[in-house]
Chains A and B, each alone.
Chain A
Amino acid sequence: MTAWAFAAAQTLLFIAAAPLLGGWLQRVKCHMQNRAAPAVWQPYRNLAKLLRKRMLLAENASWLFRAVPYIVFGAMLLAAAVVPLITVHLPSAAIADVIVLVGFFALARFFTALAGLDIGTAFGGMGASREMMVSALAEPAMLMAVFTLSMTANTTNLSVATEYILKSGLVLRPSFLFALLALAIVAVAETSRIPVDNPATHLELTMLHEAMILEYGGRHLALIEWASQVKLMIYAVLIVDFFFPWGIATDFSALALTIGLVAVVAKLMLLAVVLVVWETVLAKMRLFRVPQFLGFAFMLSLLAMLTHVVLETGG
């Protein structure tokens, strides 16, 4: 029962901390681009403002449009519940393995795309069509990279896999290097960052994710924005767990948990800096360059799989 309580607490912490990561990201980015930076908790203020506001609904919006924010948030909540943040050994990791996690993302995306089409404007259709194209190419690359890891650890359970990598010590696996690169590219594409999409764009024609949610406002928009912050954090934590798990708690003692918390905060802050550098030096791609970019990710993950089979299993 205590384990379940820890799991619930960790999930809540995950959800609550996600806007903070976004705020930190924004702050570092502003500093890097010589702009005046907002406070780290600006995303919380935005969410609070949106939650209070009266909603505007487009005239053609159906019940589906109003249900989608809850489905998206629910899917991200579930996804957050199964990713080890400060400690492994969580019973909640058994709810869903990494394939189901990808399924949760797919569920959220499916309904967001439907919401984009529901109003019946060109922007919604455009966003939905492009987002589904990008995700169709990103999903196989992601699963292939994840398969490499789960074949190494012989499990798709995130908690068990993290523990396996933690226990095997500092071994240099070439397959992991390729998988890391592939997963990083997929993460960039799936969380709508530069160079695939620009979360800060104000031009409708260049939007992918933003075009789908253009008609949302008020508490619906708050839920969707919050869900995308959670999604960004999930991808960051996944990369941290798979490739740099050191420091994560393996028991529930106060000391281990503190170390785990400090470690994960430090790692996420660092990772955010890497992402900011990446987003600052690159420009957004043309839409039809994106398939090549994601094809590269797929090639990398294929290479990871091949090196795993050839070099690491002695086959």
Chain B
Amino acid sequence: MSGTNEIPLLLAYAAVACTLLSGVVSMFAVRRHPNFLHFGSFLFLFFSGAASIAAGAWALLAKLSLTDHFALGLPWLDWHVRIDPLSGFFLMLLGTLVVAISLYGPSYTREFARGEAAQPLPPLGVFSALFIVGMQMLLLADDALVFMIFWEMMSLSGYFLVVYQHQHAANRHAAFVYLLLAHVGALVILLSFGVLAAFGGGLTFDQMRAAKLSPLWATIAFGCAFAGFGTKSGMVPLHVWLPDAHPVAPSHISALMSGAMIKMGIYGMVRVIYDLIGDVRWEWGVVVLCIGTASALLGVLYALMQHDLKRLLAYHSIENIGIILMGLGLSMIFLGSGHMMLGTLGLVAALYHTINHALFKGLLFLGAGAVLYRTHEHDLDRMGGLIHRMPITALLFLVGCVAISALPPFNGFVSEWLTFQTALQAPALENGLLRTMIPIAAAMLALTGALAAACFVKAFGIGFLGQPRSRRVARAREVPAGMLGGMGLLATLCLLLGVFPTTVIEAMAPITQMLVQAALPSAAAQGWMWLTPISPQVASYSAPFVLIAIVAVFGLGYLILKRGAIAPRRAYAWDCGFGQLTQRMQYTSTAFSQPIRRVFGGVWKVDEQIDTLASAGPIPRVTSLHYSLRTQDWSWLKCYVPIGRLVLAAANRIVFIQTGNIHTYLKFSFVTLLVFLWIVS
């Protein structure tokens, strides 16, 4: 350990140490000293995030790949650690979110210190720290042992964060499903590492890279890794835990979970498939593309039906993971067919969308948290008019909505545009079926984008615009500066990553160089203003120009139209001449998505009930009307409930061996021991 070249690794250790310190400090945050959490713990988290960003940026931009090992744990199993451009990229992503929540958290966690939502504070701080340490260390892991230890640490501490407000039965149920699927996922990942370790002769990633796998075993390793990491990412149909677990955690933790934790699944996929297995096959790409398309479309359709703001955002995470997987799938198809440049383009699109989603989804969850903090309301149908009461939060949330709806000039648009460009190069492929399927997948991506825009018109329009629908919302105030700072940081990054895509893509070159030995030299060939992923003749996009033009229209509009004009007069809204409009007459989120619910009927299990009570008399009049609507996820009903029933039935079958008698159990142990001895001998 010497020389300036080791600095990124030292910075990464410093980040981990700061996170651990933040956990230690928050242990003192008992009821009478909540400031240990509010200030001490989040201060260390700020340093940790900053150190993560520095370490990651250094490793990425200087194209460093540093390794180290510790003699920890078992005597013959050293812990191997490594930082390279890929882990650096994800460290930056994680660090950015950690910095944002360290600004946001001190005010936000006050609501747990006292009042109706009071909870013990030390567990929040300790498990948050362990959660972040888990993510930081698994990014640094260079062998399967370290990776799995910290993967489990992330999953388990995530459980305690989801169940933090354990008084509600729904939270405990959500946490249980989360834990169950996290472990099924971890088990499958372990199998994947098992295959690689068996052929490579050891647990370190270097040995796995050198392993020579037959196509069959490589496909098995791919399948296990994809299923396992996909569970953590929330791809369909392994997503059922996600929409339950993310909304019930405290909002800054939801931001970390949706922004960073599910990205660890993407990191795992890229690491295992591109780096460890290495030899990508196009058939795998087809699987990834199909699952990605399904996740994107189903995610957004389910999101449209939600009226709980945080649950809606959680379903959008599934959609965005789908978009990332589409990029990865396209990349694998092109790489497997020998088109290096196009494969690189797909990979860049996927990684770009990964960081974009981290930023805008982090921002949106923090925004939802801000509304929750001031109004204790998470149901869209009880919000409204917050743009008047919380103007800055509304502006920042709007930035997130525009970015996630993939509208220019924000960042979500750039990555979806790159994915479209990759898909449009399908004619380069030999296989006629693929040439047809890929454009259809692109059309599905277009549908997803349009539905996402509809959904965020709903989320912002019902939640923040219009008139307040409940008293607490009508009396909301703007949140403290720290919370605005955390959201503002992410919103600024959303804009910057949207306006300067060439810079971002150039910075990503070391990752693609490392993984597929190729980069996109043409992307920035026309200068920083022009993004030309393939060549200027084929496609180009100038985000700075778009921003300048819109700003110019505002300027001209002000100069020509507004200056000197008579000030506008305020008047009643149009009510057809029937008198006062009330806030009850506004569209609700359920009403807003009704046309889409009707068009895409079979996607949800819809229970719609209208109960009317008629008065007695010759002409019955409706005296009371009750409307209830429940939309449920088919995959839960058709896939998980039967499995659960099967497990219960099996348990019922073998219940007779549970006699409750100690002698019987001893007998079982003895017989088992005999059988094992017989097998071993």
Chain A residues in contact with chain B, CB under 8 A? Answer: 51, 54-64, 67, 69-71, 73-75, 77-78, 81, 94-97, 99-100, 102-104, 106-107, 109-110, 113-114, 116-126, 128-130, 132-133, 135-140, 142-144, 147-148, 150-151, 154-157, 160, 204, 214-215, 218-219, 223, 287-288, 291, 298, 301-302, 305-306, 309-310, 313, 315
Given contacts A59-B572, A103-B413, A136-B454, contact A219 B565 (CB under 8 A): yes
Given contacts A106-B407, A157-B539, 7 further A-B contacts (CB under 8 A): A96-B541, A117-B466, A122-B587, A124-B587, A135-B454, A157-B538, A160-B538
Given contacts A129-B592, A133-B454, contact A100 B461 (CB under 8 A): no
* Nearest B residue (CB) for A121: B573
B368 beta carbon closer than 8 Å to chain A: no
Tell me whether B573 and A54 are in contact (CB under 8 A): no
CA distance A301 to B569 in the complex (A): 48
> Chain B contacts of A135 at CB under 8 A?
450, 453-454
Pick the contact of A54: B444, B447, B557, B568 (CB < 8 A): B568
B436 beta carbon closer than 8 Å to chain A: yes
CA distance A69 to B599 in the complex (A): 30
* Nearest A residue (CB) for B432: A315
> Chain B contacts of A75 at CB under 8 A?
550
Tell me whether B457 and A125 are in contact (CB under 8 A): no
B585 beta carbon closer than 8 Å to chain A: yes
Within 8 A of A (CB), among B536-558: 536-542, 545-546, 549-550, 552-554, 557
* Nearest A residue (CB) for B426: A151
Given contacts A95-B546, A114-B460, contact A122 B586 (CB under 8 A): yes
> Chain A contacts of B557 at CB under 8 A?
69-70, 73, 223
> Chain A contacts of B552 at CB under 8 A?
74
B233 beta carbon closer than 8 Å to chain A: no
Given contacts A58-B572, A114-B457, contact A313 B442 (CB under 8 A): no
A265 to chain B, nearest CB (A): 26
> Chain A contacts of B406 at CB under 8 A?
103, 106
Tell me whether A103 and B407 are in contact (CB under 8 A): yes
Given contacts A57-B569, A139-B450, contact A78 B546 (CB under 8 A): yes
B424 beta carbon closer than 8 Å to chain A: yes
Pick the contact of B569: A56, A125, A298 (CB < 8 A): A56
Tell me whether B436 and A114 are in contact (CB under 8 A): no
* Nearest B residue (CB) for A62: B387
Q: Mark B378-391, 1 if CB is under 8 A from A, else 0.
A: 00000011011001
Pick the contact of B454: A107, A125, A132 (CB < 8 A): A132
Tell me whether A287 and B595 are in contact (CB under 8 A): yes
Tell me whether A94 and B540 are in contact (CB under 8 A): yes
B227 to chain A, nearest CB (A): 29
B594 beta carbon closer than 8 Å to chain A: yes
Given contacts A120-B583, A125-B586, contact A77 B462 (CB under 8 A): no
Tell me whether B447 and A156 are in contact (CB under 8 A): no
Given contacts A117-B466, A305-B439, contact A58 B573 (CB under 8 A): yes
Tell me whether A128 and B569 are in contact (CB under 8 A): no
> Chain A contacts of B461 at CB under 8 A?
113-114, 116-118, 125, 128
B479 beta carbon closer than 8 Å to chain A: no
CA distance A118 to B576 in the complex (A): 18
Given contacts A64-B465, A96-B541, A139-B446, contact A107 B568 (CB under 8 A): no
Tell me whether A56 and B427 are in contact (CB under 8 A): no
> Chain A contacts of B426 at CB under 8 A?
151
23 example contacts (A-B, Cβ-Cβ < 8 A) are as follows A57-B568, A59-B571, A60-B467, A62-B387, A64-B387, A64-B465, A100-B541, A110-B457, A120-B385, A120-B467, A120-B573, A121-B586, A122-B587, A123-B574, A125-B466, A125-B592, A132-B453, A136-B453, A136-B596, A143-B420, A157-B537, A204-B576, A309-B432
